[in-house]
Amino acid sequence: MRKIAAIIIPVLICFFIGLTASYFQEEAIKMWYPLLSKPELTPPNVVFPIAWS
């Protein structure tokens, strides 16, 4: 049981930190990313969920 807790607790801490960071950065990303100068070969936004899954 201690080995499982030694693995799960750090993973949960990392997820919590990531969720907290995404909460505070959500609006900044919505305003920043569309204004980013992207190369012409950048795929459309629809492709990213397909590629990441």
Residue 12's pLDDT band (boundaries 50, 70, 90)? very high
pLDDT of residue 18: 93
pLDDT of residue 21: 92
Max distance between CA atoms of the chain, in angstroms, equals: 52
Tokens encoding 21: 């960071």
Q: What is the pTM of this model?
A: 0.54
Does residue 14 have a pLDDT over 90?
A: yes
Cα separation of 42 and 37, whole Å? 10
Domains of the chain, residue spans = 2-52
Mean pLDDT for the chain overall? 88
Residue 38's pLDDT band (boundaries 50, 70, 90)? confident
